[in-house]
Amino acid sequence: MDRPIYEVRSLKHSYAEKTILAIEHFNVQPASIVGIIGPNGSGKSTLLRLLGLIERPTRGKIHFNGREVEPFSNEARFRITLLPQEPFLMKRSVFNNVSYGLKLRGNGSNINTRVNEALALVGLPSRDFARRPWYALSGGETQRVALAARLALKPKVLLLDEPTASVDAASAQLIKEASLRACQELGATLIIASHDWDWLYEVCDEVRHLFKGRLFGTGKENVIFGPWHHHKGKLWQKELADGQRIRLSEPPPQPDAVAIIEPTSIIGTTETKRDDYGPGILEGIVARLTLEKTSDEIAATILIGNLPFTLKFSRQQVQAENLYPGQRIKLYYSPDSVKWL
């Protein structure tokens, strides 16, 4: 295995004495695509800003290519670039926005060519867009120009913070294609924070879950937020929007604790009921089927009262179960398999 391009150790970051991020250990391999999944406020943007050397962590170290780096480090500032969540352009023309980073680096010789290539990559023809001022663009075009400005730099690491969150479907598709293509051509490392699970499962070599500032698992775990209520005896439960209940055989550490159920601990089937799972039975609808990049398995997203569950199936199982989006399916899990975050 290559030396990690990023090594993060004992990282802690706080705002106004409130800890936003606490990561003990996080490595990223060069030329890999890493996805970060987590709810709003989980610390995804903060993590990307720290990896992008925009901010200095309150505590801990970030190593890039084996060397400790911080904001303005000469070893890294020309190799790493971050596309923030909200599109932002400086008050200048599209051409000057895209060429800005090249000028900072003193790459004056072939600026025109690189700007034109970058704009073409995000589906904005240079002849139509290069001279436009920053205010004469739609939200999607602004985000694509912002991406083009990063791609023109030919970075070693491209950090994308919710790149498709505020754009239409067509722009989202162009952004996804452009960033992946650029990374393939440049051999760059891509770290994406996104809610787009399908996209991440499809393209990422590794997906990590970020919750309350802590990285865990592979990003494919089913995370179930409290509150939990006592049912009877040892049983605790959470009632879902459609009236079904997720039952636990042990009391949670606290009523609003966050439970995790591994996809491998759940069996999904369209067959008739199996009795050996006791109270751990749920019924839902197949929302999505996504082919995973690394495992060649199919990740199925099952909606149960608006709560998405992820299960893994082999191709044969999908064929045998005749799974398709919209189909009803039963989930069996053992209440003993629930872990707490």
Partner 1 sequence: MGFILEGFLQALHLLASGNPETFSAIGATVRVSSYSIGASLIMGIPLGFCLGYFDFSGKRPLRTVVDTLMALPTVFIGLLVYAFLTHRGPLGNFGLLFTLPGIAIGQTILALPIVIGLSATAVESLDRKLRITIMSMGANRRQLFISSLWEARHGLLAGAIAAYGRVMTEVGISMMVGGNIKWHTRTITTAIALETNKGQFGMGVALGLVLLAIAFCVNISVSFLRRRV
Q: Contact between 240 and partner 1 (CB under 8 A)?
A: no
For the chain, give the number of residues: 341
Q: Contact between 54 and partner 1 (CB under 8 A)?
A: yes
CA-to-CA distance for 147 and 196, rounded, in angstroms? Answer: 18
Q: Contact between 72 and partner 1 (CB under 8 A)?
A: yes
Q: Which is closer to partner 1, CB of 72 or CB of 324?
A: 72
Q: Which is closer to partner 1, CB of 48 or CB of 246?
A: 48
Contact residue for partner 1 among 71, 255, 278, 325 (CB under 8 A):
71
- Which value, in Å, is the radius of gyration of the alpha carbons in the chain? 23
* Cβ contact 251:234 at 8 Å: yes
Q: Which is closer to partner 1, CB of 54 or CB of 258?
A: 54
Contact residue for partner 1 among 104, 136, 170, 320 (CB under 8 A):
104
- The binding track of 105-124 with respect to partner 1, each residue x by CB under 8 A or -, is x-------------------
Output DSSP code: residue 242. T
Given strand 229-232, what is the order of strands in its sheet? Answer: 229-232, 235-239, 245-248
Q: Which is closer to partner 1, CB of 77 or CB of 214?
A: 77
CB of 284 to partner 1, least distance (A): 39
CA of residue 237 relative to chain centroid, distance: 29
Q: Contact between 86 and partner 1 (CB under 8 A)?
A: yes
CA angle 84, 7, 206 (to 5 degrees): 65
Contact residue for partner 1 among 82, 148, 167, 246 (CB under 8 A):
82
CA angle 251, 256, 262 (to 5 degrees): 70
Contact residue for partner 1 among 59, 88, 251, 264 (CB under 8 A):
88
- 10 Å CB burial of residue 194 (0-12, 13-18, 19+) is buried
**Does residue 170 come out as left (phi exceeding 0), alpha (psi in the -120 to 50 range) or beta?**
alpha
Q: Contact between 83 and partner 1 (CB under 8 A)?
A: yes
CA-to-CA distance for 191 and 204, rounded, in angstroms? Answer: 9
Q: Contact between 84 and partner 1 (CB under 8 A)?
A: yes
- Going from the C-alpha of 119 to that of each of 110, 166, 167, 268, 282, the distances in angstroms are 14, 19, 17, 45, 48
Which residues from 134-193 bind partner 1, rule CB under 8 A? 146, 149-150, 153
Contact residue for partner 1 among 9, 12, 63, 77 (CB under 8 A):
77
CB of 171 to partner 1, least distance (A): 19
Enumerate binding residues for partner 1 (CB under 8 A): 49, 52-54, 71-72, 77-78, 81-84, 86, 88-91, 100-101, 104-105, 146, 149-150, 153
